[in-house]
Chain A
């Protein structure tokens, strides 16, 4: 069959059937016809060529210059990934916070209290749901938090269970959520997570004698998650079979007793990778005061929210040498290449401490004790940067671990990872405990910063009196605000700065010791 076979319309036929001779005579050719008709204008060849060529060449030239890529969107993705504990955007219609570690049953390892702070101008309606796991139904409690206020709810008051995964959903405003854990006279405060992830990393941890090390994985979703857990220990990477293909059932949490899986390890860094699903991971380090075979004897509880990714710089803006604290930072290298890490200690008032470089081999963790480099009774911040003279700058994970000896007025342990990124406004939730709090403002930028402390109820106030005088923070330096006697404190606090800073919280007192990052408000631009 040829195209001639197809003559869909009868009226199309005359032309289609016209003999070539006839029509060709009409088409051909401009020369003959031009001679015949004379007056007929011939199509101008040059303009046609010019326009066609110019259009293509111009487009080609522009295309050659156009080198934009999708880097911006990739950057945005990173920011989103690091905003796990950030203050939710003002446009958020609902926010969910996931608190993994904690117990609410009698004799539990970490009595958990949920702290909900409202940093918006309207009431926040929050629903705290405790998921006991298994076939048991979750139990919820609703509460309303006034603007600028902070609510504290013991999980046990909602549901007493050994493995409570807690979800706090806030509707109608900007709320932040953290939880405080108490164990054996010590305190641990850590922000809950606003996101879940398929990867989690920890750097600090130990399973020496007298310690309990729990990895807590919380799956708040409706489908099961499957995780593989690996540990970097003194003796190398360990992947116990028990935690390969570990199922975290839907709407439940699983506590992994690391001290049973990799016992008697001085250093234990943990990595969690999900085959399916997403979880929130926290690590709980408990010391019962038993003297280990070697090293210090410690008592207390420390909890850390894991990092969802490794990074080349970590700023841990919380720490103090008060009361004889021992300060360390663990640097874990999960990559396949060796790297070096520079550990810098930032001190107030322009004091300096020389940075220390340590080599972190591939799949190893190094503990750096910088106690002697911090003046007595001084707050500090730790900055860990991965760098290498040989060009390998593998990302690492850094986590501080501090402890106070039994002889100290404060007994306890504290750990935390740094926040992901600097911000100009930070929100701090304070536990209702017998202790003081130190809010550390760290300036790692290139310009001096002025920081101010406000009650959360005045979060949008641009000028006016502050609870503390404004503080100037030099480059690569810190400043701190001290909140005395947290028992008398009401409501969340806000620290604002004219340039991005890091803010951390150190709680120290009779109730124990704790270090944690504050909640960054990335939406705030100072305008």
Chain B
């Protein structure tokens, strides 16, 4: 129980007149029923009634009264019918009154006051008959059923007649008053019945429900009573036992979602109000209150009635012994019949404004408005725009109509006999507003149920596992991750490699929406969808995008371990071996190296690959989920693949490769069906992911085939030993890493059956991952391949899985309790696993996993300030392993990266597929590298390249290091127009003295070559160093040079549209013959909007499919499962000793 319980202590004594014999007899013409001798003690009201003399005792009231209550017999004679009840529809068997049932029952019937049940219905569903049947089966003898139909599309009379032929049916036009208006019909139609029982058409009453409530009404002198509501779908689930409200009228039940009814709330008690789903009301009170206020429908008619009753001194009770199952069928009704959320809030606020005292309103109104704004933003963030709107509209629609509120107040306050403070104990505190908000907003669609279940499961799991050594080990691992990341958390992740700094949220979204990609020399290809994720994360973190980036990187390590745990639990099942596999994966150097050297793609792969594989395995193995559920699983797998691909395009191929490897392993593992399905599902998921990423994949489809844009940027030189030890970076991966390999080999010798098959699959993954790194490194050293951490991640996953299986096998041996070779093998295995863990622990010391304390990109950030005097680019040259962002690798192995207006950020990270202009740059670098020119600067000048950077590392005190190839260093040093500005141990910076700003005007005296077939030769002979930057206006005539890749959609205007030429054969040039304001714009932005529209449509379909295929576990099953686990824990003598291994072995 986490929420606040409504007070159950004494409540103010009601001041409303008790039910006395006179009133009763006057109303009913009979006597109250005698008290149940087994009933609980009488309440003070009852005592008063019995002893006070004003009222009659139970026996006095009914004994020998002989008077027939107001019953259907009277109706049959026209007492309720005739002129007083102008039935529009003739009730089936309407004239057959219960009084005619037989004289033998007369005495019993006379013992009870008559009750008229008002069943209000509109377009009832299939549950309707059940409701009628439950009314028919009431053991309350004098119960007359009146069905009030609120303009249903189909007349329900026939359905009523079939089940309840004695009932009356009245069809009314309720207008916007709905239930309230329909229920108020009773004021005019019912005479003589002391009680009215209102109910919905989707409830099923226990047979004694009405009787118990009537008895309690007398016993407790209550005016309004409600039963215990349980779920119609699963009567074990408790829905409500009365309601409380907070100061702002938000309802609160105190019942946890999915809470099992264990009679824990079965005590008669005062509540603030009871819902109209089933409500017994004294007729005299109902009449005095003028019934329901139609203006409070929907959503608050019950609250309003009860509140006004409270103000009049009446008691409102919940009687849990009376049980009613509620189907909560509103969601199943037609849209038009569902309550409008704004109207609900409006009603609630109206009730608060009408029923609260004036003094209270002085502070309630301003606070309520403030709270409504919090609700507004809270609902917006949680994705409930309608509720957000309702939060605002609810207050303002009332405040802007003071006349209506004043009238309601007058009506409510006229009977006031109770001070507000007397009701406070029935309300929850103002501080519980947040809880009420969560309950109000999440509970309604079952979210809170899930949340509660997940939380409880989590707590259960933690309490289960906290006692296990494996869990403690995992917690230690998480602690080490935290300590090892402390510098990253406190100072941020350095902008090294593909850990490019993230721009502001708006910049990320701007970049995504732009039709032109400002990466490299520019491209019209689609923007990477990762920008949306980045922008979204920044939004979630309220603009603290640096924090989002840091957590994105740091949490990848434990997330990967958690994913590995889930995968292992799926395959190995046992918890301890799964923990071992997770820790083996988590401490694998591949993740630390990815962090140390800024490999974002492999790091995301590390985090997501286990989740992908576990989902793939489920799809491949599981045949229990078919149809929509299976499609849903595939959809969610595709979503994960899309997320991976968004950050690491190559990840799609790696995922496909994993699926193919599952198929490839079939000859070793059998299970051909699983292999084929795994491959098929991976292909389907990959295809779906591509669709989700539309239009980004089109960019690659139209590309020139260069793989640099896909992450083929590296030429690692690693020996077999290094590869198998995962020694691709600064992380500790010495000989101790052999421990993992040996431990992972154990199941190949010892495991049997499925374990052996999965060990084999793990080894296939490991061998393939290693081979993906070692083979190109050894046989194709001059071919660019993905970062080694990518292949090693696959190997790490396979090896960790095999290791986990090995642990499970050794645990088998330990359990045999017979000394043999398994025991020493287990000890050796433990040592073998422990050694790499020590390596991991050693890496914790520096607090940043070997990443630099300061990135050189940060050191060179001063250049950003220069952009105000003309946009420029920076050319980073050197070994691809130390270059920022996603470099292009030339044939000779030299890599290059272009950044814009400084060291660049993540919006320039994912390269566009190679453009013709990119080839010009690559050619220029190649010419310089080969010593074929000393004028690289001039070739780079039209590209706006102002700085050339040659790094030998990624930053200070960490990261990757690699010497600049001597030939390249010499070549750059030989360039006449590159001036060395700065040299330190890690980076050399040159300034291009021949550069022209990206947007500049080349003066008229200099001819800018047009449509050149040899752009670099053309640039070589053209000195554009005298070009002046353009910031808003053109101050001289000449040629406007726009150093982006030539595209016909670029349009420049200076008073009029300028003629567009292909300057230098690749850039954009515009002859300018006048001075003035200049605009340069890309005229095909609409295409991007169109693509985004298609993209939005795709995602809308995805989301709809998501909802459609969502598999929600039955809350009852969850609760039962939770309870079962709790009992198992209590009953299991091994609990807390050896974790669930004992659980397992006791049963297998």
Q: Which chain A residues have a beta carbon within 8 Å of chain B's beta carbons?
A: 1-17, 19-21, 23-25, 27-31, 33-34, 41-45, 47-49, 51-52, 55-56, 59-60, 62-63, 66, 76-77, 80-81, 83, 88-89, 91-96, 167, 169, 171, 195-196, 220-223, 250, 276-278
Of A16, A43, A47, A277, most buried by chain B (CB within 10 Å of CB) is A43
Tell me whether A20 and B618 are in contact (CB under 8 A). no
Can you report 19 residue pairs joining A to B where beta carbons are below 8 Å apart? A1-B478, A3-B579, A4-B464, A9-B636, A11-B629, A16-B570, A20-B574, A24-B573, A24-B1147, A25-B1148, A30-B754, A31-B752, A34-B753, A43-B670, A77-B966, A93-B1016, A93-B1020, A167-B976, A222-B979
Chain B nearest Cβ from A186, distance in angstroms = 32
Chain B nearest Cβ from A252, distance in angstroms = 13
Among A2, A10, A19, A83, contact of B475 (Cβ-Cβ < 8 Å): A2
B982's closest neighbor in chain A, by CB? A223
Cβ–Cβ < 8 Å partners of A276 in chain B: 980, 983
Question: Given A2-B475, A10-B1110, A276-B983, are A66 and B778 also a contact pair (CB < 8 Å)?
Answer: yes
Cβ–Cβ < 8 Å partners of A28 in chain B: 753, 1148
Among B461, B632, B974, B1016, contact of A11 (Cβ-Cβ < 8 Å): B632
Among A29, A41, A278, contact of B752 (Cβ-Cβ < 8 Å): A29
Cβ–Cβ < 8 Å partners of B973 in chain A: 196, 278
Binary interface encoding of chain B residues 563-594 relative to chain A, with 1 for a CB under 8 A from any of its CBs, else 0: 00110011011110001001000000000000
Chain B nearest Cβ from A41, distance in angstroms = 5
- Other than A4-B457, A34-B753, A94-B932, give 6 A-B pairs with Cβ distance below 8 A: A3-B561, A11-B629, A12-B566, A20-B1144, A43-B670, A222-B991
B992's closest neighbor in chain A, by CB? A222
Question: Given A4-B458, A21-B1147, A48-B748, are A15 and B570 also a contact pair (CB < 8 Å)?
Answer: yes
Q: How many A-B residue pairs have CB under 8 A?
A: 211
Expressed in whole angstroms, the Cα–Cα distance for A7 and B478 within the complex equals: 17
Among A2, A4, A27, A49, contact of B754 (Cβ-Cβ < 8 Å): A27
Cβ–Cβ < 8 Å partners of B629 in chain A: 11
Question: Given A10-B1110, A11-B629, A171-B1020, are A277 and B980 also a contact pair (CB < 8 Å)?
Answer: yes
Cβ–Cβ < 8 Å partners of B980 in chain A: 221, 223, 276-277
Chain B nearest Cβ from A410, distance in angstroms = 38
Among B450, B454, B461, B767, contact of A2 (Cβ-Cβ < 8 Å): B461
Expressed in whole angstroms, the Cα–Cα distance for A439 and B1018 within the complex equals: 39
Tell me whether A52 and B561 are in contact (CB under 8 A). no
Binary interface encoding of chain B residues 660-671 relative to chain A, with 1 for a CB under 8 A from any of its CBs, else 0: 000000011110
Q: Is B252 close to A, CB under 8 A?
A: no
Chain B nearest Cβ from A288, distance in angstroms = 36
Among A66, A171, A250, contact of B979 (Cβ-Cβ < 8 Å): A250
B756's closest neighbor in chain A, by CB? A43
Expressed in whole angstroms, the Cα–Cα distance for A35 and B458 within the complex equals: 38
Q: Is B508 close to A, CB under 8 A?
A: no
Expressed in whole angstroms, the Cα–Cα distance for A169 and B561 within the complex equals: 61
Question: Given A4-B461, A21-B1144, A21-B1148, are A223 and B979 also a contact pair (CB < 8 Å)?
Answer: yes
> In B619-640, which residues have CB < 8 Å from any A CB?
622, 629, 632-633, 636
Q: Is B562 close to A, CB under 8 A?
A: yes
Among A7, A83, A89, contact of B932 (Cβ-Cβ < 8 Å): A89
Q: Is B719 close to A, CB under 8 A?
A: yes
Among B464, B474, B748, B979, contact of A221 (Cβ-Cβ < 8 Å): B979
Among A3, A14, A23, A221, contact of B573 (Cβ-Cβ < 8 Å): A23
Tell me whether A48 and B572 are in contact (CB under 8 A). no
Q: Is B149 close to A, CB under 8 A?
A: no
B1146's closest neighbor in chain A, by CB? A21
Chain B nearest Cβ from A251, distance in angstroms = 9
Among B573, B934, B993, contact of A27 (Cβ-Cβ < 8 Å): B573
Q: Is B389 close to A, CB under 8 A?
A: no
Among B562, B569, B1020, contact of A94 (Cβ-Cβ < 8 Å): B1020
Expressed in whole angstroms, the Cα–Cα distance for A400 and B666 within the complex equals: 76
Cβ–Cβ < 8 Å partners of A222 in chain B: 976-979, 991, 993
Tell me whether A63 and B570 are in contact (CB under 8 A). no
Q: Is B279 close to A, CB under 8 A?
A: no
Among A8, A62, A81, A220, contact of B976 (Cβ-Cβ < 8 Å): A220
Tell me whether B935 and A7 are in contact (CB under 8 A). no
Tell me whether B778 and A48 are in contact (CB under 8 A). no
Cβ–Cβ < 8 Å partners of A278 in chain B: 973-974
Cβ–Cβ < 8 Å partners of B1112 in chain A: 10
Binary interface encoding of chain B residues 1009-1026 relative to chain A, with 1 for a CB under 8 A from any of its CBs, else 0: 000000011001100000
Question: Given A49-B748, A52-B763, A80-B970, are A43 and B668 also a contact pair (CB < 8 Å)?
Answer: yes
Of A83, A92, A94, most buried by chain B (CB within 10 Å of CB) is A94
Tell me whether B720 and A59 are in contact (CB under 8 A). yes
Tell me whether A30 and B752 are in contact (CB under 8 A). yes
A42's closest neighbor in chain B, by CB? B753
Question: Given A21-B1144, A93-B927, are A42 and B752 also a contact pair (CB < 8 Å)?
Answer: yes
Tell me whether A55 and B669 are in contact (CB under 8 A). no
Cβ–Cβ < 8 Å partners of A171 in chain B: 1017, 1020-1021
Among B667, B752, B934, contact of A169 (Cβ-Cβ < 8 Å): B934
Tell me whether A3 and B562 are in contact (CB under 8 A). yes
Cβ–Cβ < 8 Å partners of A92 in chain B: 931-933
Of A24, A41, A278, most buried by chain B (CB within 10 Å of CB) is A24
